[in-house]
Amino acid sequence: MPLGMFLKSEPFGSTFSTVPQGYDIAAYSARHGLDDYVDRVGPLSLERFLGYADWFTRELVPDVRDVTVTSVTAGDGGFTVEFAEECPVFARQVIVATGLLPYARTPGELSGLPADLMTHTSVHRRLDQFRGRRVAVIGGGQSALQTGALLHELGADVQVVVRGQELLWDQRIAQEIGPLDYLRRPPTKLCEGWGCVFYYSPDAFRLLPASVRARKALTSFGPAGAWWLRDRVEGVVDVLTGHQVRSATPRGSGVRLQLDGTARSVIDADHVIAGTGFRIDVARLSFLSQAIQAGLVTRVGCPLVNRAGESTVPGLYFGGAHTMVSHGPGVRFIAGTHQTAAQLARAVARRARGGAGPAEPAAPADSLRPLAGAGTGPHPVI
């Protein structure tokens, strides 16, 4: 996320899950004298969130090591994990929680452009290098719309291209919650409403048929802008709806976009930014060995896991967005950690003590293809 951005999630929904109390963003703000914090009707700035994340890490998990995994292979009752900078280690259990960055999605129409002409929104730390330049932003979700707003405010000539016929905006949440609101639109850390309660709960979500789970995981909480961003975009940023990029070719020092639509057919830009989101495909995790990949049962690119997050490769766990087909679309967000982290931690601790793991299979027995050789024991690697 570039500097100056705000998180789409409300402040109360941007807190990490942890057992001890007093480690949410409200507590962080109070301890650091940041009295402008509000729990609801944010938004929460990137700078505030990163400060909170660093404090949370120092206080609760100070032994995190930032090293690059190059290979995970199974055998001898566990996993051998190799690193770019360190010696290999042997682990009885491995937790894969890479987040979304490995899965940045770029449409095929843009994929042939060189990196100096086209980038994904997720690679930018600063946007001021685009001041005074013509930039086309592709996409109609929060990332694309907020990038377009920031570029405009920095002095770029911005054109946002949206495939949908109109922009979609999230509903503004209420500043105060009354007793009746818990019946009419029950709040969760993710959103509000009875549908949200269902998709936020892995236990409820797992009651749905497999085909419905896959569809809802891919389509729920689709592209839309935050309510607080609307005034910075509508009537301010040039947004072209109902148009799709048909082709993109270098032209001079910039890019020419050919569009399908009624209002415009061509856009010339100095640079194109793809705000086209992410698509989970565990096969893109090149550090997982071919044998492990073959042992994973997947659906729409996601590994199937049990309630604790253990995959069909015993001892190999997944967290976060990887598990959205099994646990629901809520796990794509920070708020989802409150519904999954404790179960995963208990399962890993049980195996580390030599006890049995969760009895629930990750998928129906006739579709399981477990990988032999991955056993139980201590020393998980995350």
CATH number at residue 326: 3.50.50
pLDDT of 292 over the 50 cut: yes
Is 316 contained in some domain?
yes
pLDDT of 260 over the 80 cut: yes
Is 292 contained in some domain?
yes
Three-state DSSP class for 202?
helix
Is 25 contained in some domain?
yes
pLDDT of 275 over the 80 cut: yes
Per-residue pLDDT, 380: 65
In this structure, the number of other CB atoms found within 10 A of the CB of residue 381 comes to 16
164 shares a domain with 33: no
pLDDT of 236 over the 90 cut: yes
163 shares a domain with 269: yes
307 shares a domain with 265: no
In degrees and rounded to multiples of 5, residue 209 shows phi and psi of -60, 150
Per-residue pLDDT, 18: 92
Is 15 contained in some domain?
yes
137 shares a domain with 44: no
Burial of 337 (0-12, 13-18, 19+ CB in 10 A): buried
In degrees and rounded to multiples of 5, residue 256 shows phi and psi of -110, 125
376 shares a domain with 293: yes
Rg (CA), the chain: 22
Per-residue pLDDT, 41: 83
Task: Give the position of tokens 């989802």.
Answer: 336
Summarised one tens digit per residue, pLDDT across range 276-286 is: 999 999 999 99
- Residue 41, sorted as left (phi over 0), alpha (psi -120 to 50) or beta, turns out to be left
Is 267 contained in some domain?
yes
DSSP 317-353: EE-GGGGHHHH-GGGGSGGGHHHHHHHHHHHHHHHHT
Using CA of residue 314, residue 214, residue 283, residue 83, what is the dihedral sign?
A: negative
Is 188 contained in some domain?
no
Distance of alpha carbon 69 from alpha carbon 220, whole angstroms: 32
Per-residue pLDDT, 355: 59
95 shares a domain with 138: no
Give the chain's domain count.
3
375 shares a domain with 244: no
Q: What is the separation of C-alpha 377 from the centre of its chain, rounded to a whole number of angstroms?
A: 30
307 shares a domain with 374: yes
Is 375 contained in some domain?
yes
Length of the chain: 382
Is 209 contained in some domain?
no
258 shares a domain with 159: yes
Distance of alpha carbon 291 from alpha carbon 41, whole angstroms: 47
Highest mean pLDDT among 9-23, 99-113, 150-164: 150-164
CATH number at residue 244: 3.50.50.60
Summarised one tens digit per residue, pLDDT across range 159-187 is: 999 999 999 999 887 777 888 877 888 88
Give the residue-averaged pLDDT of 273-294.
96
344 shares a domain with 253: no
Question: 256: domain range?
Answer: 118-169+224-274
359 shares a domain with 291: yes
122 shares a domain with 261: yes
